[in-house]
């Protein structure tokens, strides 16, 4: 734990820059964290100068100097919720495991003693594709060298056995101090994990909020043994006390929400850092509560946090600083993890029967889809104009990156997926590939039957079904509709 220190500095009344020197001492020697500096005056400037120099010497001799072996960098994530790759629709889209891996690699090249921790809620929903993504996520985290993965309530959608075995297969240590098997009361994973660096040991433990018990039990429908969630405060008090006696730094990954994380900081002695998860909050710089640094990365894997601890030679924390990094286009993707994604995308065609088993329903506007070919006989000039737009090549753009069998993307790159008469699968209905007339003007089957029935107008609401803020942050209806204007 960080301890308050007082530096007494005697300065002459004629010494200039007293306040500036005080601030320099707080910042440069003690990081301004938990430090009190008291200044007093002496009779002459020479004596004052000598006293300042003496104090600086004492600081150095007493172990307040810093060396690389006494720094710890913690990279933290949480609440990825299945959002693992970049949508290629816009360069402004943020997030993705490939950028996350690239950032982690860049930090490893710059510093020593790197700890990588996830607060939990890596997964999202059940289903075949989500499980394939879960496999990929854990494999990618293994490639990034995660030191600890805490279990959140969403991480049980494929069962407790799945997450434990998959993480073990990819050397991702899982921690959970308060999720137990109901019959034996044994924790389903190791309650803590100790990481040893050069001259520094760090203990990581993790909890989920007891109030999420029902969510965990309902999600975990494939594990034979019933699960139970014990009180997180009580469990942390026991495990943190044990870790405190064994390690230099104690880190808690807490899938409990920001409010509960603050409560834990106030009630559980011995914690140095809490990595909070659950909820949309994000913390741009470390928040200090009762001497504990609290951080939180936000939602959907859009960010990664970086908190740096500096310790003196007695292994006491003397400064803390950090920031939240947005995983934008400035972050270079990691090529090794990108290769894992390409393998995943190429594999999807092998699951096409299951992934594209999508029942067709009547469109909300009524009618059915007829396909752009039905429009061309009467609107040939418009059809020619359409062929020169990105809409016409929408599915081709997915095929170039092996995602033409990815239902998460295909929906907005074809015509009428999931609706009567609409696209079914690349190999079954290639004539409905691309964003054709009806995706902008509405289902045209009835218009084809009766030309007197008008087609729909292009509206903002029509476009933002696919050009969402997440997929296309820079989308501007008035400007962008010009790219598909037949009269342009």
Please tell me the predicted confidence (pLDDT) of residue 9. Answer: 37
Q: What is the mean pLDDT of residues 330-345?
A: 97
Please tell me the predicted confidence (pLDDT) of residue 470. Answer: 80
- Superfamily, domain 359-484: Flavocytochrome C3; Chain A (1.10.1130.10)
Q: With bands split at pLDDT 50, 70 and 90, how would you rate the model's confidence at 221?
A: low
pLDDT in tens, 290-320: 999 999 999 999 999 999 999 998 999 999 9
On average, the pLDDT of the chain sits at: 86
Please tell me the predicted confidence (pLDDT) of residue 478. Answer: 87
**291: three-class secondary structure by DSSP:** coil
Please tell me the predicted confidence (pLDDT) of residue 61. Answer: 39
CB 306 within 8 A of CB 331: no
Neighbouring CB atoms inside 10 A of 390's CB total 12
Structure tokens at 1: 């734990």
Q: Is the pLDDT of residue 93 over 90?
A: no
Please tell me the predicted confidence (pLDDT) of residue 208. Answer: 97
- Superfamily, domain 68-341: Metallo-dependent phosphatases (3.60.21.10)
pLDDT in tens, 370-427: 999 999 888 888 888 899 899 999 999 999 999 999 999 999 999 999 999 999 999 9
Please tell me the predicted confidence (pLDDT) of residue 17. Answer: 44
pLDDT in tens, 52-82: 444 444 444 344 444 445 899 999 999 999 9
pLDDT in tens, 234-254: 999 999 999 999 999 999 999
Q: What is the pTM of this model?
A: 0.83
**Range of weakest confidence among 28-32, 130-134, 202-206:** 28-32
Please tell me the predicted confidence (pLDDT) of residue 222. Answer: 60
Which residues belong to CATH 3.60.21.10 in the chain? 68-341
CB 250 within 8 A of CB 264: no
Q: Is the pLDDT of residue 40 over 50?
A: no
Structure tokens at 74: 């913690």
Structure tokens at 69: 């072996």
Please tell me the predicted confidence (pLDDT) of residue 133. Answer: 97
Q: What is the mean pLDDT of residues 162-181?
A: 96
Which residues belong to CATH 1.10.1130.10 in the chain? 359-484
Q: What is the mean pLDDT of residues 123-143?
A: 96
% pLDDT > 90, the chain = 68
Distances (CA, A) of 140 to 37, 108, 208, 329: 47, 16, 23, 20
- Which one is predicted more confidently, 201 or 13? 201
Residue 73 makes CB contacts below 8 A (sequence gap 6+) with: 107, 111, 113, 114, 115, 306, 307, 308, 309
Please tell me the predicted confidence (pLDDT) of residue 220. Answer: 66
The number of helices, as runs of H, and strands, as runs of E, in the chain is 18, 16
Count of positions (residues) in the chain: 488
CB 164 within 8 A of CB 132: no
Q: Is the pLDDT of residue 457 over 50?
A: yes
Q: With bands split at pLDDT 50, 70 and 90, how would you rate the model's confidence at 483?
A: confident
Q: Is the pLDDT of residue 5 over 50?
A: no
Q: With bands split at pLDDT 50, 70 and 90, how would you rate the model's confidence at 21?
A: very low
Neighbouring CB atoms inside 10 A of 447's CB total 22
Q: Is the pLDDT of residue 1 over 80?
A: no
Q: What is the mean pLDDT of residues 324-347?
A: 97
CB 475 within 8 A of CB 463: yes
Neighbouring CB atoms inside 10 A of 310's CB total 19
């Amino acid at each position: 734990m960080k301890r308050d220190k007082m530096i007494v500095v005697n300065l002459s009344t004629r010494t200039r820059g007293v306040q500036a020197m005080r601030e320099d001492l707080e910042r440069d020697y003690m990081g301004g964290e938990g430090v009190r500096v008291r200044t007093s005056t002496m009779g002459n400037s020479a004596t004052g100068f000598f006293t300042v120099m003496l104090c600086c010497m004492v600081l150095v001799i007493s172990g307040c100097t810093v060396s690389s072996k006494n720094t710890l960098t913690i990279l933290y994530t949480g609440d990825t919720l299945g959002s693992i790759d970049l949508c290629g629709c816009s360069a402004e889209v943020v997030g993705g495991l490939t950028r996350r891996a690239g950032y982690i690699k860049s930090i490893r090249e710059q510093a020593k003693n790197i700890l990588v921790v996830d607060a939990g809620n890596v997964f999202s929903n059940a289903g075949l594709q989500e499980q394939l993504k879960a496999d990929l996520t854990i494999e990618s985290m293994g490639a990034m060298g995660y030191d600890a993965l805490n279990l959140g309530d969403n991480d049980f959608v494929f069962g407790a056995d799945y997450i434990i075995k998959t993480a073990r297969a990819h050397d991702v240590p899982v921690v959970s101090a308060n999720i137990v098997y109901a019959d034996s009361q044994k924790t389903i994973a190791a309650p803590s994990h100790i990481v040893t660096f050069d001259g520094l040991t760090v203990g990581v433990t993790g909890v989920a909020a007891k109030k999420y018990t029902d969510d965990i039990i309902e999600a975990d429908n494939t594990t034979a043994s019933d699960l139970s969630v014990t009180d997180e405060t009580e469990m942390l008090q026991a495990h943190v006390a044990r870790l405190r006696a064994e390690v230099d730094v104690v880190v808690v990954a807490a899938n409990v929400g920001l409010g509960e994380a603050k409560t834990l900081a106030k009630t559980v002695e011995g914690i140095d850092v809490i990595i909070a998860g659950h909820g949309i909050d994000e913390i741009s710089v470390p928040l200090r509560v009762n001497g504990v640094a609290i951080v939180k990365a936000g939602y959907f894997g859009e960010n990664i946090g970086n908190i740096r601890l500096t310790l003196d030679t007695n292994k006491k924390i003397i400064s803390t600083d950090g920031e939240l990094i947005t995983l934008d286009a400035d972050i270079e993707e990691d090529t090794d993890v990108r290769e894992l994604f390409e393998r995943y995308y190429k594999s999807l065609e092998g699951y096409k029967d299951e992934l594209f088993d999508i029942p067709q329903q009547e469109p909300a506007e009524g009618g059915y889809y007829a396909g752009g070919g039905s429009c061309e006989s009467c609107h040939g000039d418009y059809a020619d104009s359409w062929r020169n737009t990105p809409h016409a090549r929408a599915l081709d753009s997915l095929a170039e990156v092996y995602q033409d069998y990815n239902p998460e993307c295909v929906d907005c790159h074809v015509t009428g997926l999931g609706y009567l008469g609409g696209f079914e699968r690349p190999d079954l209905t290639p004539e409905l590939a691309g964003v054709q007339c009806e995706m902008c003007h509405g289902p045209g089957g009835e218009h084809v039957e009766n030309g007197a029935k008008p087609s729909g107008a292009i509206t903002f609401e029509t476009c933002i079904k696919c050009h969402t803020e997440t997929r296309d942050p820079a989308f501007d209806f008035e400007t962008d509709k010009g790219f598909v204007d037949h009269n342009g």
